[in-house]
Structure 1
């Protein structure tokens, strides 16, 4: 996971977000860095950063900050790079975390809708991975390469 964080957050012009701050109990510092990062990061990175920030807010039971983040976030399915399975799976994570927020807020219908939409995105990724695996296995068998 460190490689993913370093890769996605390296494109940011603000200070580098260090996920170990959260592990060290420096949650406020992590929140500050993530908020700063969200102001200038790419569309692909905004999903990962928003997911982490939402998790921190839910961990602290800070539903007000989570609500503000959800209302002001620029995450929309139309901006998702559908050719990048990592980003697509992070979007599914986002929908799951969003569902967790609505569960904590007591909005069960919206919670279920987000959980179901997230599950749909996860299943699409699994299907894509299975198709790619079958393609590469078939290709390796035809060329005589070992997979």
Structure 2
């Protein structure tokens, strides 16, 4: 029997536990809370009523940045993150933005390539991890 999967908009506070657990478990939970969370759109993927994957979207000046994209470790590799990112990209297309971008962990660029995101020359390190800015130009 197939599992029930629901994609939906959620509150910022619903993202914090997964952000913390997956991305920065060694930091205090406040480390994963963003000042701009109140201005963003937040999406979640639930499996059988349990939130397993989250992402936050921030739109400014005709561009959209997604941040804090995370799937619970035990649920990774099951396609949930791909379903959520596809849902996010559909939402972005409806917003009429000209560009969507993210700060991708350098070891995850191949994943983002599958969604049409391309690496830019902009790279940086934070918290001991290497990142590259990836983007997708949208034409309307």
TM range (shorter): 0.3 to 0.5
- When Rg is computed on C-alpha atoms for both structures, the one with the higher figure is 1
Larger relative contact order (CA 8 Å, sep ≥ 6)? 2
TM normalised by structure 2 equals 0.34
Which structure has more strand as a fraction of its residues? 2
What TM-score do you get using the length of structure 1 for normalisation?
A: 0.33
